[in-house]
Every structure is written in C-alpha cells, then in structure tokens.
Amino acid sequence: MLVLAAGGANAQSSADQPTRGGRLTVSVSAEPPMLDPTSSTSAEISRLLYDNVLQGLVKLGPDGKIEPSLASRYQVSADGKTYTFTLRPGVKFHDGSAFGTDDVVAALKRAMDPKSGHTHPEYYADMASVAASGPNTVVIKLARPNADFLFNLARADSVIMPAGKTDAMKSAPIGTGPFKFVSWQRGSAITLERNPAYYNKALPYLDAVTFRFISDPNAQLAALRSGDIDVIGYGLAPENALSLKQGGDFNVIVGNSTNKVTVSMNNGRAPFNDIRVRKAVQYAVDKNAILQGVMLGNGTVIGTHRTPVESCYYDLAGLYKPNPRLSRSLLQQAGYTAQKPLKITLTLPSQYDYAVRTGQAVAAQLNKVGIQTEIKLVDFSTWLKQVFQGGDYDMSVIGHAEPNDIGIYANKSYYFHYDSPQFRQQFDSYLRSTNRSAACLTMRALQKRLADDAVNVWVQELPYMAAMKNRVVGWWTDQPLPSLNVTQVYLRK
C-alpha cells in the first residue's frame, strides 16, 4: 500500500525570506484558446492556470514528483485497483462555494464519460466507480490496474471545478488555487489576483500576476529591458538569453522540460503512409545541426517520443544518423526521382519561434536530398483546427509538452494517424503492469517501436528558457509539465 501525506510549510530554495506584495507581469508566446484544461488540450491553458488557479486531488511538483493537493493524503491498495483520497477540510472555490466530495465525484464522472467533451477520457477509462465514502473521503475503484492512473490525476486534465459549472470554466475559470481569475483581455493579457481565502495562509506572496501575450521574441526582450514586463516566462530566444546574461541585471534560466520538438508526419496519407519516405526524412535531418543552429546548443537531441527527464527514457538519438545518400536511395525506392520529385507542405504555427526556426532548418535539409518543401505559416488557432483537429497536413513542427504522453500513439485518430495494433497491444501491457521494473522495460520497447516505425522525427528536448529581473525569486527552473507556477514567487525588496 502506497501512502503519501501533505508536508508542512512550503520550502523556499532561496536563502532570502519571502516578502509579500507586488504585481508581476509575465510574457508568454501564445494565447490559450480557452481557459478550461478539461475541454481543450492546449498546453497554454495549463501553462497559466495549473496550480495557480486550478487544482486537482494531486499535482506535480517542481521536481516532477506527485504531491498531495486538494487531497491531503491518499492510499493505493496492494492490487492497484482502489484509490482512497482524504480531502482537505475547509477548502473553498473562488466563487465562495465549499469544495467537497460532490465536486470531485462530478468532475471525475465527467472525465470518464467519452461523450462529455472531456479532453482525455482515455486517462480514466479504467475507472469502474468513483463515490464518496464519508464527508471528506472519495474512493475510486478501477476495473483493472493502470500504471499511469495516479499520474493522470496529477495532470491539468484532472482539475476539480465546482459541480455544474463546466461551461463557465471556458472563459472564467473557478478554482481553489492561491490565485483567482480576474480578467481576460482577448489578444492582450490574462490577470490573476491573490486569493485571500486560500487554504494555505502562507501563500501566495504576490498580490497579482498578469500574463501578457507577446509572440515576437525581440518584442519580449524589449519589454523586459524597458521594464514593461518582469519575466519572459516562455519562448525566450537563445540569442536573447545570451544577450541578457551579459547585462547582469537579469536572471536567465535554462532548464529541462518534457517538451518533445516533433517534426510530425501524416502517417495516414501519401506520401508518409510509406515507411520508406518516412525513413528518408529521418536520414535527411541532421538534428545536431538544428540544435546548434536554432537553439545555439541548448537542449538535448532525442530519438523517440520521450525526454531524458521522464522515467524509463531510452536514448535512441543515434538511431538515424544523417545520411543523404541513403535518404535519396529510399526516396528512389518509393518512386521519387529528380524528374519526379517529392513535393510536400510543411505547416508551421507562426506564434512559436522555435517551431518556425526548426521548420525552416528542416526544410533546407529536406531540399538538399530532393524533397521540395514549401513552408506554410499559420496562426495557432488555425494550426489547431487544420492540423491537430482536422489532420489536414503533410508535415508540421510542434513541441509536445505534456509529460508521459506516449499513449497518444495508441490513438490512431490522433493527428499523426499512426495505426499500429502492435503498439496498442504493447501499450496496454505497460498500463496493466503492477511491477515497476517490468513496466519500465515495456516503456522502453514502446519507444523503440516508434523509432523503428519512423513515425515522426523527434528533434530535441526543448530546453526551458526564461529570463527575469533579478528581484524575481522562486521561479521554477525546470518544467516537468507546462506550468508557469507562481504560487511561491516573490519580489525581493
């Protein structure tokens, strides 16, 4: 039986004594399409609201470990099929209503209903029941063990909202976190303010936080230097990081993340339904050159859909070494020659500078082996509709920031349109394992199968890069999930 209970006071890594008060302005690269992480898979929602505003029974801490949140403690039965959560007493939502077992039961019943519109009902598909067994106790029973279930409860998809208020969450989220949502100026900013009724009276330190949407890295830099913003929270360009390091007035963070920069290929239609073409692309792409040219050496080259900071990582970065001759040979085998070249479109989300830069570098490398690549820039909302939801694309580039998300390849409808019964069978074996070592071996086999099938080109773990005024203290240095967590941030006097 696994038991975990909440700790005491929140630790501070800094020797400074936290100070109260002040407003923080943080720039982010992209605006979320809505504000409910249970209704949209956009990482931008989690990035702004996870744990700041919206909380679940458990959460991921800055080191990626699962911590108690709205549940002060939990127990897992030896057979891995019964989870018992003890809820914190006296917690209130930001609208003043009391948080309780009814809210947890309603949220998780909606999550497990594939017709509810929830983002990832598959995370909860093994739930047989969820019910209150006392005024502050919720029991979840699984039909069969699921190695990822507790991790899934720590995701942004599992935040608890007031029962019956799902629709309101999309534009005005109601949570239990240390900050409450105040306003959303479309196209400009989202503002949060301190929640005076937060159950941890020591937090937060700040009075308010404003997230401003600034996609241009140079505009971000200018805003930080001029004092218009306090933090570049996401999307800091590598050359701007170098420039800020030399100034001495700013703190620059280069940390780890679970963001897999992925050159996705539409496996469901020609030409990428042919593994020879997909492998030709693998051998055409020089990942180390991209990492040096695009990120100035920051980051880590990867070879499958997992990063070194995630558990059971399998280093396959060297599986497809750059080999233009082999690439051209594979293309010829697939029927593409100088007289009949392969022509493709690379659709890129314009708000993400790393994606645009990576895409431009990939296009140049593909052109060298005879793949005529046309770049098409679209705004992120168009990218979500056309590429992610519609699957109408040849190739694209995006960072898959969610941790432990290899299960997306078990969904043949996902925008890669990868359809492998063998992968699905192996993934199911992984989920059912109650032996951690065995599960880890299966996880490694899953990574190898994806790489062997050349489903996508996984370029690198995108480093988490941020910059801020020196007086900003308590910022997370790594991103175990997309979250600009400001719950313990303060301004040094």
What lies within 8 Å, CB to CB, of 280 at 6+ separation is: 326, 327, 328, 330, 331, 334, 369, 371
Only one residue has tokens 């020089």, namely 286
Give the 3-state secondary structure of residue 485: coil
Tens digits of per-residue pLDDT, 189-203? 999 999 999 999 999
Amino acid at 343: K
Contact 463, 254 (CB under 8 A): yes
Only one residue has tokens 């703190």, namely 251
Tens digits of per-residue pLDDT, 365-418? 999 999 999 999 999 889 999 999 999 999 999 999 889 999 999 999 999 999
Contact 484, 211 (CB under 8 A): yes
pLDDT one digit per residue (tens) for the chain, 493 residues: 333 333 333 334 445 699 999 999 999 998 999 999 999 988 899 999 999 999 999 999 999 999 999 999 999 998 999 999 999 999 999 999 999 999 999 999 999 999 999 999 999 999 999 999 999 999 999 999 999 999 999 999 999 999 999 888 999 999 999 999 999 999 999 999 999 999 999 999 999 999 999 989 999 999 999 999 999 998 899 999 999 998 779 999 999 999 999 999 999 999 999 999 999 999 999 999 999 999 999 999 999 999 999 999 999 999 999 999 999 999 999 999 999 999 999 999 998 889 999 999 999 999 999 999 999 999 988 999 999 999 999 999 999 988 999 999 999 999 999 999 999 999 999 999 988 899 999 999 999 999 999 999 999 999 999 999 999 999 999 999 999 999 999 999 8
Burial bucket for residue 270 (CB in 10 Å: 0-12, 13-18, 19+): exposed
Distance CA 407, CA 67 (A): 23
What lies within 8 Å, CB to CB, of 152 at 6+ separation is: 120, 123, 124, 146, 158
Beta bridge partners of 181: 192
> 297: part of which helix (H) or strand (E)?
none
DSSP 8-state assignment for residue 408? G
Q: Global pTM?
A: 0.85
Distance CA 210, CA 184 (A): 10
| 420 Rama sector, left if φ>0, alpha if ψ -120 to 50, beta otherwise | beta
**Residues 181-210: b if buried by 16+ CB within 10 A, e if exposed:** beebeeeebbbbbbbeebbeeebbbbebbb
Distance CA 250, CA 128 (A): 51
**Residues 409-448: b if buried by 16+ CB within 10 A, e if exposed:** bbbeebbbbbebeebbebbeebbebeeeeebbebbbbbbb
> 144: part of which helix (H) or strand (E)?
none
Distance CA 15, CA 271 (A): 57
